[in-house]
Structure 1
Amino acid sequence: MEDMASVVLDPATRLALTAAGGFLLVGLITGVWKYWQIARSAEAAAHPYVDIAHRASLLYSFASLVLAALAWFSVWPDAVNTVAVAASVLFFALAIGSYVLHGWLADTDNQLRAPHRLGSRSLPGIALHGFMVALIVAELGGAAVVFVGAMQAIW
């Protein structure tokens, strides 16, 4: 077995693995928060966005592991893979952050329903929908780049 200290990971793979671990920890922490809310609720339920933050964090941790594997095999230059992974991971984190914020503020049970609430304030629809378009482009585009690069290597 190779000594792990001698394994050199490319930046995209390191970033994706770091994100995977971070998202896993956030998922576990939000799981404690979810349990705490369930235990103190007459309905035995957590706020919907606490539940969403918990589940999304765990799912994004595994998605980040897939990105790490794809980046590891990708034939693209390190810079291309790193930007692709960073775009996906950044928007994974921003999505989780928005779920945590809505769970903390308990301001909505559907951030996509107008009026778009953030605490006691309303956000313009263009801001939310602009963010969603950027999220789609970054997550899907980043994943597609490393996927195509990995497919070039293995086929």
Structure 2
Amino acid sequence: MALALETRFALLATGVIFLWALLLGVWKYVQIARSPEHAAHPYVDIAHRAALLYSFASLLLAVFAELSAWASWVNVAAVAAVLVFFVGAILSYVVHGWRRDTTNQFANPVRGLHAFMVALIVAEIGGFVVLFSGFVVGQFAIA
């Protein structure tokens, strides 16, 4: 079975993010095992959970991209826009977990955090709307 480029791209990202989540789970476990409180740093926990959730969310991108009526380049761009921010969010959690510099990144936000959040909102929702509308048009013959 030949899958569309955008579907293969989304599935590749799904696998990479899921593997990353599993490795983050090991880091979380090590912190729990070594901590007198038997807890990982909050951002290590958040990174692990976010990676797990984003890996499964990426599967949705693959399905909607495969069934979209839009041109491949449109679907690839939509998938990429969402995935860039999934990965960016996980990376930010990993950095905070590694540095142990905060338990709430919004308490003392670094420069650009709110701009990043606005861009994340636009890219994730916008990218999915593109894929979902392509699915609706393609699968329900709406023109």
Give the TM-score of the pair, scaled to structure 2: 0.95
Aligned positions, number:
140
- Give me the whole-angstrom Cα distance separating, in 2, the residues matched to 1:52 and 1:11: 31
Question: Aligned runs of 1:121-136 on 2, under 5 Å?
Answer: 123-124=110-111, 127-136=112-121
Please tell me whether residue 41 in structure 1 is matched to residue 17 in structure 2.
no
Instruction: Could you tell me which runs of 5 or more consecutive residues in structure 1 were left unpaired when the two chains were aligned.
Output: 1-6, 117-122
Please tell me whether residue 88 in structure 1 is matched to residue 47 in structure 2.
no
SS at match of 1:147: helix
Q: Deviations over 1:105-139 (max 9, x none)?
A: 000111112x22xxxxxx22xx1100000011111
Give the superposition deviation at 1:14: 1.2
- Give me the whole-angstrom Cα distance separating, in 2, the residues matched to 1:143 and 1:60: 13
- Which residue identity is paired with 2:137? Q
Question: Aligned runs of 1:94-133 on 2, under 5 Å?
Answer: 94-113=88-107, 115-116=108-109, 123-124=110-111, 127-133=112-118
Instruction: Could you tell me which runs of 5 or more consecutive residues in structure 2 were left unpaired when the two chains were aligned.
Output: none
- Give me the whole-angstrom Cα distance separating, in 2, the residues matched to 1:12 and 1:102: 31
Please tell me whether residue 16 in structure 1 is matched to residue 14 in structure 2.
no
- Give me the whole-angstrom Cα distance separating, in 2, the residues matched to 1:40 and 1:109: 19
Structure 1 runs of 4+ with >6 Å offset: none
- Name the structure 2 match of 1:148: 133
Give the TM-score of the pair, scaled to structure 1: 0.88
Q: Deviations over 1:17-62 (max 9, x none)?
A: 0110011001000000000000111111000000000000010000
Please tell me whether residue 75 in structure 1 is matched to residue 69 in structure 2.
yes
- Name the structure 1 match of 2:53: 59
- Which residue identity is paired with 1:102? H
